[in-house]
A and B are shown apart, each in its own frame.
Chain A
Amino acid sequence: MRNIIESRIILNKLLLLGYIAFSEIGSKSVQTSVIVLLLLLYFSINMTIPITKWELGKKSLVILSMVFIGVCFVFVDSFFIILLPINLYEYIVYYIRKKWIVLALTLLPVLFVTESDRLIYVLVSVFSFLVFVMEIQAMQRLENYEVQNDRMRIKIQKLQKQLHDNDEYIKQSKYTFQLEERNRLSQDIHDKIGHSMTSALIQMEAAKSLLVKDREKSNELLQNAINISKDGIEKIRVTLKDIKPATQQMGIQRIRLFLDDFTAKQGLQTSLLHKGDVEMISPLQWKVIYENIRESLTNTMKYANASVVSIEIHVLNRMLKVEVKDNGTGSSNMKKGIGISGMEERIASINGTIIVDGSNGFSVTMLFPLP
């Protein structure tokens, strides 16, 4: 951006330079070689301005250029004055922001200019003024952009941090749940089973020591130990059953979680409906259902142009039907891509079939036999 502005000023100067060269070389008042030398000097001074990075250096170069123009104006030719306005602008712009004052200031030297050059001088200064106004506006725009850019960068950083924190939080809570679960488990084992086992052990040891002396008592103690052990085994069974979640709960839950996530990320509405006895569905079938639902939703995202996807898991008497249907454009003539082939293969591995229909929205229907 800054480059464009600078090149605009350089172009402006070059234009004036050309103009002077053209009009001066024609007139015989000054030697051509002197004009060329002066013009080249002016050129070198002014080309150094954009190259210099240092602000004070820039300013002094601008002043030098103005002094140079003054010298030329006084000793060589009054025509050099038309180069003045642009340098003046370059300098004043550092101190005065009000545009009209700037224009007035640059028009001031018109009083010293000879009558014949007056018109040209006014024209040149107005032209240079316009170029500068453009430059100032462009600079302001640039500044605005930069400010905006910074603000956005900060925002992104904040969001990224939030996201990261969230992930961290999820991981933490997962870990916490696991710990809690493990805690509960060890507590259960300790409370329910540990005590039984210990008391059974004591009774058995007592029975062993009484085995010879008092057979009857020993027998009684052993029977006690057997009862306690039986009870313990039953408790283990109950505890384990408590811990292990039912397959159907996991299956449905997993799909539901995925759908929630999908809705949040993709902005597509989803609904999940299940009918019949979902306990009939085996873990392997749940796996295929999950993967194929995911694949179907990806397809919907990519091609369907839909806003709503409904998923129905229907356990029929001897068959399981899973339908993923969207309200998109559908397609009367579909190609079987990798996605659909993949779904087909997974379904085939558990003896099912898949029907893909594009006649009314897009629907994928999976059918597989129940045992």
Chain B
Amino acid sequence: MKVLEMKGLTKKFGDFIAVDNVTLTVAEGEIFGFLGPNGAGKSTSIHMISGLLRSTFGQINILGKDIVKHRKFAKMNIGIVPQDLAIYEDLTVYENVKFFAGLYGLRGSRLKEQVAEALEFVGLSDKHNSYPINFSGGMKRRLNIACAIAHRPKLLIMDEPTVGIDPQTRNYILDSIKKLNKMGSTIIYTSHYMEEVEEICTRIAIVDHGKVIVEGTKEQLQAVVTDKKDIWIEVKSNKNIRAQEIEKIKGVESIQIDERVIKIHSDMDINNLNQIIQYFLSNEIEIRSVEEKSSNLENVFLTLTGRNLRD
């Protein structure tokens, strides 16, 4: 089922085109990543999906319904973790989550139950009577997530949720996104950190200057640029290594023998790592480390646009 559909979505601010004719579909169960540099139009798209901004042209459907015609329906089914924290520092943790869940129409015992569940999920149950004013950035962010998920939205949108956060909380958040996804939420995740997007997203759209350049799985995006990989094997010494023998292994295209590192250029689709290692072992060459270098999304972006994701 299509959880989100964008058709020809465009947003202009005067002469400036922030989002330019974007057409995308997010299916149920996906963790969909928006990857692009700052100013690529990610947040503007998110604001239009969540109804904060009206699109200049185009249409957005949530669960098959137009968000302009079915505002309430759309809002009930979306949860948003905004880029800038949205919590009240003079309310307790519990009150914060209860307030946001209440906005979505939850009442009575159901409200209590789901708020408790959300707090449990982000690991803030024991803090439910504290005021978030003294919280660390990571805790505030977790509280923010709890506010967004208490009403159990079908679609959870997270706009750069790991900006300015310690690595531990970051991992915690990435894990909880995976967990939420397993529990049935469809997730849209925007970031300009390609490592995060590579780690958690099932499908990715690379955006730049308001346009979707490419979309697909991580592997599909890598394949756009090249179908080769490099395997670097660090050895104790390069004696007894014969290039011709290794080149006979299926998929190997070329080989470069340095003093300590053997660089093998090979087809990406063929899994020949075992055979290669087998060659080293049978010739009693001591391996120190093995590293497979396939092109990452940063590289894909660089190749396609000539610019870096982060300036």
Contacts and interface: CB of A to CB of B under 8 A. Distances in A.
On whether the two chains bind one another, the answer is: yes
Interface of A: 314, 316-319, 321, 323, 325, 333, 335-336, 353-357, 359, 363, 365, 367
Contacts, number: 48
B225 A353 contact: no
Nearest to A355: B209
B305 A318 contact: no
A353 B223 contact: no
Contacts of B17: 336
A316 B224 contact: yes
Given A317-B225, A319-B214, A319-B225, A357 B304 contact: no
Given A321-B303, A357-B209, 20 more contacts: A316-B224, A316-B304, A317-B225, A318-B224, A319-B224, A319-B225, A319-B304, A333-B15, A335-B15, A353-B213, A355-B208, A355-B209, A356-B209, A357-B305, A359-B307, A365-B304, A365-B306, A367-B213, A367-B214, A367-B304
A367 B303 CA distance: 11
A363 B208 CA distance: 13
A323 B223 CA distance: 20
Interface string B212-234: 11100000000111110000000
Contact of B16 (A323, A333, A356): A333
Nearest to A316: B225
B38 to A, nearest CB: 12
Nearest to A348: B21
Nearest to A354: B211
Interface residues of B, number: 19
Q: Is the interface of A mostly helix, strand, loop or mixed?
A: strand
24 contacts: A316-B225, A316-B303, A316-B304, A317-B223, A317-B225, A318-B225, A319-B224, A319-B225, A319-B304, A321-B304, A323-B306, A333-B15, A335-B15, A336-B15, A336-B17, A355-B213, A355-B305, A356-B209, A359-B307, A363-B306, A365-B304, A365-B306, A367-B214, A367-B304
A274 to B, nearest CB: 15
Contacts of B224: 316-319
Contacts of B225: 316-319
Nearest to B303: A316
Contacts of A319: 214, 224-225, 304
Count chain B CB atoms within 10 A of each CB in A325, A336, A353, A354 and give the residue with the most: A353
Count chain A CB atoms within 10 A of each CB in B16, B226, B227, B305 and give the residue with the most: B305
A144 B130 CA distance: 97
A357 B307 contact: yes
Count chain A CB atoms within 10 A of each CB in B16, B208, B303, B306 and give the residue with the most: B306
A280 to B, nearest CB: 13
A359 B17 CA distance: 15
A239 to B, nearest CB: 37
A365 B212 CA distance: 13
Interface in B80-138: none
Interface in B1-30: 15-17
A316 B225 CA distance: 5
A317 B216 CA distance: 15
A215 B226 CA distance: 64
A325 B306 CA distance: 10
A348 B237 CA distance: 54
Nearest to B39: A359
Count chain A CB atoms within 10 A of each CB in B208, B211, B304 and give the residue with the most: B304
A343 to B, nearest CB: 13
A355 B211 contact: yes
B117 to A, nearest CB: 43
Contacts of A367: 213-214, 304
Contact of B223 (A318, A321, A336): A318
